[in-house]
Amino acid sequence: MKVRFAPSPTGYLHVGNARIAVANALFARHAGAKFLLRLDDTDLERSKPEYEDSIRQDLTWLGIAWDETFRQADRTQAYAEAAEKLKAAGRLYPCFESEEELNAKREQRRLRKLAPVYDRAMLKLTPEQKAQAEANGKRPYWRFLMSDREVRWKDRVLGDRSVKLPTVSDPVLIRADGTPLYTFTSVVDDMYAGVTHIIRGEDHVTNTGVQIDLFGALGANTTELKFAHLPLLVDTDGGKLSKRLEGLSLRSLRQDGMEPTAIVAYLARLGTSQSPELKPLAELAASFEFSQISRSPARFDMAQLLRLNRQALHTAPFAQVRDRLPPGATEAFWHAVRGNLDLLTEARHWWDVVSGDFVPPVQDGEAAFLADALTHLPPQPWDTTTWSAWTRALKDATGRSGRPLFQPLRLALTGETHGPELASLLPLMDAARVADRLKTACH
Q: What is the pLDDT of residues 383-414, one digit of tens each?
A: 999 999 999 999 999 999 999 999 999 999 99
Which of 69, 91, 93 is closest to 189 using CA atoms? 69
pLDDT-based confidence at 242, cuts 50/70/90?
low
Q: How far is CA 267 from the centre of its chain?
A: 9
193 in a structural domain = no
113 in a structural domain = yes
Contact 354, 428 (CB under 8 A): yes
Cis amide leading into 381 (omega within 30)? yes
**Tell me, what CATH number does 128's domain have?**
3.90.800.10
Question: Is the pLDDT assigned to residue 110 strictly greater than 90?
Answer: no
Angle at 73 between CA 69 and CA 76, to 5 degrees: 115
435 in a structural domain = yes
How many CB atoms neighbour CB 375 within 10 A? 11
Question: Is the pLDDT assigned to residue 333 strictly greater than 80?
Answer: yes
409 in a structural domain = yes
297 in a structural domain = no
Alpha-carbon dihedral sign for residues 238, 244, 246, 252:
negative
Angle between helices 431-442 and 367-375 (to 10 degrees): 160
Q: Which residues pair with 144 in a beta bridge?
A: 92
62 in a structural domain = no
Share of the chain above pLDDT 70, in %: 99
Q: Which amino acid is at 228?
A: A
Between CA 229 and CA 159 the distance in angstroms is 10
Per the rule left: phi > 0, alpha: psi between -120 and 50, beta: everything else, 198 is beta
Distance, first Cα to last Cα, the chain = 72
So what's the pLDDT on residue 44? 84
Q: pLDDT averaged over the chain?
A: 93
Last residue of a domain, one of 155, 174, 193: 174
Mean pLDDT of 319-334: 95
Last residue of a domain, one of 139, 174, 209: 174
Contact 411, 441 (CB under 8 A): yes
Which of 173, 179, 185, 106 is closest to 142 using CA atoms? 173
Q: How many domains does the chain have?
A: 2
Q: Which structural domain range is residue 418 located in?
A: 318-443
pLDDT-based confidence at 238, cuts 50/70/90?
confident
Q: Which residues pair with 92 in a beta bridge?
A: 144
Question: Is the pLDDT assigned to residue 243 strictly greater than 60?
Answer: no
274 in a structural domain = no
So what's the pLDDT on residue 292? 94
- Please give the residue that has the higher pLDDT: either 362 or 66: 66
pLDDT, tens digit (0-9, with 9 covering 90-100), for 69-108: 999 999 999 999 999 999 999 999 999 998 898 999 888 8
Which residues does 146 contact at the CB level (< 8 Å), separation at least 6?
165, 166, 168, 170, 171, 210, 213
pLDDT-based confidence at 45, cuts 50/70/90?
confident
pLDDT-based confidence at 433, cuts 50/70/90?
very high
410 in a structural domain = yes
Angle at 300 between CA 13 and CA 276, to 5 degrees: 100
**Tell me, what CATH number does 395's domain have?**
1.10.10.350
Contact 63, 28 (CB under 8 A): no
For 19, 24, 193, 230, 285, the CA distances from 265, given in Å and listed in that order, are 10, 14, 29, 17, 10
pLDDT, tens digit (0-9, with 9 covering 90-100), for 271-307: 998 889 999 999 999 999 999 999 999 999 999 999 9
So what's the pLDDT on residue 364? 87
So what's the pLDDT on residue 359? 85
Q: How far is CA 70 from the centre of its chain?
A: 21
So what's the pLDDT on residue 360? 87
Between CA 222 and CA 144 the distance in angstroms is 17
Q: How far is CA 200 from the centre of its chain?
A: 14
pLDDT-based confidence at 246, cuts 50/70/90?
low
